[in-house]
Amino acid sequence: MNSKRAIPTLHDVATTAGVSTATVSRCLNFPDRVSPRTKDKVLAAIEALGYSPNFGARAMAARRTNTIGAIIPTMENAIFARGLQAFQEELRLHGFTMLVASTSYKPEIEEEQIRSLVSRGADALLLIGHDRRPEIYDFLETQGVPALVTWAFDAASHRTSVGFDNQRAMQEMATEVIKLGHKKLALISAETANNDRALARRTGIYQAMEDAGLPPHDLQVVETSYGIVEGANAFGEIMGRGQKPTAVFCGNDVLAVGALRRAREMGISVPQDVSVIGFDDIELAQVAYPPLTTVHVPHREMGQKAARALSRLLLEGIPLEPTLLKTTLVYRNTLAPINF
């Protein structure tokens, strides 16, 4: 039947509409530069043929794609989802399309994905965190693809970032916790290798301890990969040891929710027996039981600002500017003073 009907091209549309390919192309790209009558003919032909422009050819001829790539560690949880959603929505307003790729927190995969998105013609890239091989940045430079770092902020880095200060945020929280009398602290951290955010958060706690005259060395740290179950196990490990902490920091809310769950299973009351602190303030944090005390990160704002910055750069040539976003402490029900 219709089996081997060839895919319609610009040329087919032009023939059907009785115009040149240039006109069809303009009709698609600059509708006002075409007379209404012609436009109608062309659109009718497009509709009749079921034509769809070939992106590759278009990208090659136009040397841009109106596409921005975002490379995130994982889509499996909400941490990046919300910010990304905002990023996409804002991008859409400016006529850009977002392409997402995920890396499972593996640097090799990240490099692969960066190359893949660049080769797919991404006009710019959104990256998470600063930490990657300089070769990658060189590559991006060679390819002329601007990249914006988010979810972290480092004024020192020459890579522009729109993000927040992971270390300071965690340090603020830790300072508050210490003020409440907690001295025996533990941290369930995401893996710090290749993850500057996790590292910065840990450093923030060390810093707060030092400032308070506590030996940083005393912080019990368990590193684990992402996931509720992983958080639960890490919590079990920590509370199973001799030296039980009175406050357990978690590198992110997902781990914290896991900790909360294991606490319940172990019959440990939060916050009476132990305080649990999260990071990120994703939806999960409010829903957890008890509702989680955590550090709020303005994910939506971050996504939106990142999108604006990139559109401005691409559309108007306005250079990227480092932007520091404020985090806030959200007190809910998992943190209590010691000996209350």
Footprint on this chain of its own copies (rule: CB under 8 A): 2, 5, 7-8, 49-50, 52-60, 74-78, 81-82, 84-85, 88, 97, 99-100, 102, 115-116, 118-121, 138-139, 141-144, 227-228, 257-258, 261, 264, 283-284, 286-289
CB of 230 to its own copies, least distance (A): 11
Could you tell me which residues come within 8 angstroms of residue 112 by beta carbon, excluding any fewer than 6 positions away? none
Among DNA, its own copies, none, the one that 265 touches (CB under a kind-dependent 5 to 8 A) is none
| Residue 111 or 273 with smaller CB distance to its own copies | 111
Q: At what angle do helices 21-29 and 10-17 cross, to 10 degrees?
A: 110
Among its own copies, DNA, none, the one that 28 touches (CB under a kind-dependent 5 to 8 A) is DNA
Residues engaged in binding DNA (CB under 7 A): 6-7, 9-11, 18-26, 28-29, 32-35, 37-38, 51-54, 57-58, 60-63
| Residue 10 or 274 with smaller CB distance to its own copies | 10
| Residue 33 or 106 with smaller CB distance to its own copies | 106
By DSSP bridging, strand 275-277 and strand 247-250 are: parallel
Residue type (1 letter), 309: A
CA atoms of 256 and 338, how far apart (whole Å): 19
- The phi, psi pair for 276, rounded to 5°, reads -130, 130
CA atoms of 45 and 37, how far apart (whole Å): 13
Among DNA, its own copies, none, the one that 256 touches (CB under a kind-dependent 5 to 8 A) is none
| Residue 57 or 315 with smaller CB distance to DNA | 57
Among its own copies, DNA, none, the one that 48 touches (CB under a kind-dependent 5 to 8 A) is none
CB of 241 to its own copies, least distance (A): 24
| Residue 20 or 286 with smaller CB distance to DNA | 20
Longest CA pairwise span in the chain (Å): 85
- The phi, psi pair for 154, rounded to 5°, reads -145, 105
CB of 315 to DNA, least distance (A): 14
- Tell which residue, 162, 69, 86, 60, has the closest CA to residue 123: 69
Among its own copies, DNA, none, the one that 23 touches (CB under a kind-dependent 5 to 8 A) is DNA
Question: In sequence order, which ranges of the chain are alpha helices (DSSP H)?
Answer: 10-17, 21-29, 36-49, 55-62, 78-93, 107-119, 134-142, 166-179, 196-211, 228-240, 253-266, 283-287, 299-316
| Residue 34 or 84 with smaller CB distance to DNA | 34
CB of 143 to its own copies, least distance (A): 6
- Tell which residue, 287, 286, 256, 251, has the closest CA to residue 270: 256
CB of 30 to DNA, least distance (A): 8
CB of 216 to its own copies, least distance (A): 31
For residue 224, the SS3 value is strand
CB of 15 to its own copies, least distance (A): 16
Whether 337 contacts 180, CB under 8 Å? yes
Among its own copies, DNA, none, the one that 216 touches (CB under a kind-dependent 5 to 8 A) is none
